Amino acid sequence: MASKRVVCLGLVAVFLAPLLSGCFGVEELPIVEQKGIPGGLTLACLDDSKYTSMVLEIDYAPGYQPDTSSTNLLLQRLESVCNKPLGINVIFTETNFLNNGDWSASDIREASEDTKSVSPRDGSVLTWQFMFPSGMYEDESVLGVAVDASTVALFKDTIDDAENIFRRPSAEKIENSVLVHEAGHLLGLVNLVYTSPADHEDPDHPGHSNNEDSVMYWAVESASISNFFDNELPTEFDSDDIADLEGLADGSIAISSQLWSP
Ligand SMILES: [Zn+2]
């Protein structure tokens, strides 16, 4: 098996500096080349010249189906930023993942390969896969992870544990926010495949927002989430996040590492 490292990244740091674990698991070449990095299919989502529709493939282990509030929110948020004139469909599939225990980024990538129904880019359809396996990530503080340009995993066991005794915030609300947060990484937020003209990346948590009202705030995917929010969690991209996506869509912000460009 290829060696791996798991990084929370600023883009340049991806291949150079293994940092603390967290939101992104990035494999050594050549898998990175094939699958891209989180943000590698940002333009495929923001632009409609080739990919006119999109599928959100929700693959869950028995008993691990996400709340409909989470997938509805995911759909709303992606509909609000991605240009898909023929629509975005959500497809749910109960799935037997072979791994039930500790997950590494490469385990997730392998499971994705085994379970995804189609290629991420199939004709005019862009497919992003969201996996809900049993078990936890190897770093048990991680609630969700984006492992390549089209693959996310959420760890419901860890999310349930992150709910505090007062259920404020509840596991459902945490799942809502983490799911949108990881989709935000697939959209390249924050500064994964570009450099924002706005100063909104948290220098201590690369790839994340410094605004606690943004769903891309760094604490959203951490098991310590209950320490930072007492009930209301952010579920929306903030104005800087949205401005970044608009700038990427209209070409006014340069973008790199794309698997597809118009
Ligand atoms: Zn993150």
Q: Tell me, what CATH number does 14's domain have?
A: 3.40.390.10
On the question of pLDDT at 22 being above 60, the answer is no
Q: Could you tell me if residue 89 is inside a domain? A: yes
Q: Could you tell me if residue 105 is inside a domain? A: yes
How much distance in Å is there from the Cα of 1 to the middle of ligand 1? 26
Q: Could you tell me if residue 259 is inside a domain? A: no
How much distance in Å is there from the Cα of 101 to the middle of ligand 1? 22
Residue 46: the pLDDT is 98
How much distance in Å is there from the Cα of 209 to the middle of ligand 1? 9
Residue 94: the pLDDT is 97
158 touches 137 (CB < 8 A): yes
How much distance in Å is there from the Cα of 220 to the middle of ligand 1? 7
Choose the weakest-confidence range: 40-54, 70-84, 95-109, 179-193: 95-109
How much distance in Å is there from the Cα of 141 to the middle of ligand 1? 12
Check the CA dihedral 255-180-201-250 and report its sign: positive
Q: Could you tell me if residue 53 is inside a domain? A: yes
Written as six digits, the tokens of 12 are 């340049």
What is d(CA 125, CA 179) in angstroms, rounded to the nearest whole number?
A: 21
Q: Between the CA of residue 217 and those of 59, 206, 234, what are the distances in Å?
A: 26, 11, 8
How much distance in Å is there from the Cα of 55 to the middle of ligand 1? 22
Q: Could you tell me if residue 260 is inside a domain? A: no
Q: Could you tell me if residue 175 is inside a domain? A: yes
- Residues of the domain holding 196: 4-250
Q: Could you tell me if residue 240 is inside a domain? A: yes
Q: How many domains does the chain have?
A: 1
The predicted model scores a pTM of 0.88
On the question of pLDDT at 9 being above 70, the answer is no
Q: Could you tell me if residue 91 is inside a domain? A: yes
